[in-house]
């Protein structure tokens, strides 16, 4: 059973992220993630064909997503999962990918229904954090006392990548995160299990599949 503390955090994140993602943008999220997880740039035409939408409709919806990454040819290379290197390596089916933040590595295995081998780096110590994340939970974690940082997120989040994703890290321990935490009023640290539980709440509400759009969680 989720604690009141975790429920409150999950609700704040839901409202803050929903403010940054309109329903049509959320409708694009699942197919875009699945296509990016194949390890190749994704064209607008691929998304349009997958969702049975016009090229113009998809282009218009993508234009309202502030942080989508494109290559020189106008193909999508990053949207949560990214082909561009970040601190968070995310391997699925032998394909080496990356994610925008630590929480993504816990959420996306649920959405993709795939097991991911995750390797990240503690920004304070430089130590490596290793995880195996399945749709049902975290099966391997080293070091065992690693934590996830979570910035304070208001219910009216502005730039979701700058204000949220870029601040969500794996730290090798709570002690290693102490300086980061002291500089950010309202921020918190979560155990990996707590972060995974919150990720499950987000996967089931904010990051819904197209068939679920318009239904309340």
| pLDDT greater at residue 214 or residue 75 | 75
Q: pTM, whole model, 2 decimals?
A: 0.85
Share of the chain above pLDDT 90, in %: 55
CA distance 136 to 115: 9
Instruction: For residue 112, give both structure tokens.
Output: 């993709």
Q: Which residues of 1-11 are buried (b: 16+ CB within 10 A; e: fewer)?
A: eeeeebeebbe
Mean pLDDT value of segment 190-214: 73
Q: Assess whether pLDDT exceeds 90 at residue 97.
A: yes
> Quick check: 192 and 9 in contact, CB under 8 A?
no
- The predicted structure's pLDDT at residue 12: 67
- The predicted structure's pLDDT at residue 2: 43
Domain ranges of the chain: 4-209
CA distance 53 to 181: 44
The CATH number corresponding to 4-209 among 3.40.1480.10, 3.30.559.10, 3.90.226.10, 3.30.450.410 equals: 3.30.450.410
| pLDDT greater at residue 50 or residue 23 | 50
At 111-144, the pLDDT tens digits run 999 999 999 999 999 999 999 999 999 999 999 9
Task: Return the residue matching tokens 């296509």.
Answer: 35
Instruction: Please state, rounded to an integer, the average pLDDT across all residues of the chain.
Output: 84
Mean pLDDT is lowest, of 72-76, 150-154, 159-163, for 159-163
At 24-33, the pLDDT tens digits run 555 777 888 9
Residue 12 CB neighbours (<10 A): 16
What's the DSSP call for residue 111?
H
| pLDDT greater at residue 67 or residue 92 | 92
- The predicted structure's pLDDT at residue 16: 59
Q: Assign 136 to helix, strand or coil.
A: coil
At 154-176, the pLDDT tens digits run 544 556 777 778 889 999 999 99
Nearest CA to 146 out of 202, 205, 193 is that of: 193
Nearest CA to 26 out of 216, 213, 157, 215 is that of: 213
């Amino acid at each position: 059973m989720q604690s009141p503390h975790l429920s409150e955090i999950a609700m704040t994140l839901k409202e803050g992220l929903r403010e940054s993602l309109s329903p049509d943008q959320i409708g694009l999220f699942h197919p875009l993630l699945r296509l990016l997880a194949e390890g190749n740039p994704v064209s607008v035409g691929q998304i349009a064909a997958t969702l049975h939408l016009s090229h113009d409709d998809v282009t218009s919806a993508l234009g309202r997503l502030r942080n989508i990454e494109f290559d020189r040819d106008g193909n999508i290379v990053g949207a949560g999962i990214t082909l561009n290197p970040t601190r968070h390596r995310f391997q699925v089916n032998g394909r080496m990918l990356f994610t925008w933040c630590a929480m993504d590595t816990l959420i996306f295995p649920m959405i993709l229904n795939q097991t991911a081998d995750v390797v990240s780096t503690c920004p304070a110590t430089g130590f490596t954090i290793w995880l195996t994340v399945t749709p049902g939970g975290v099966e391997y974690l080293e070091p065992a006392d690693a934590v996830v940082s979570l910035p304070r997120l208001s219910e009216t989040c502005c730039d979701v990548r700058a204000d949220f994703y870029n601040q969500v890290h794996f730290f090798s321990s709570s002690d290693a995160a102490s300086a980061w935490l002291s500089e950010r009023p309202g921020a918190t640290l979560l155990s990996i299990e707590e972060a995974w539980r919150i990720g499950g709440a987000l996967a089931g509400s904010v990051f819904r599949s197209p068939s679920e759009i318009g239904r309340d969680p």
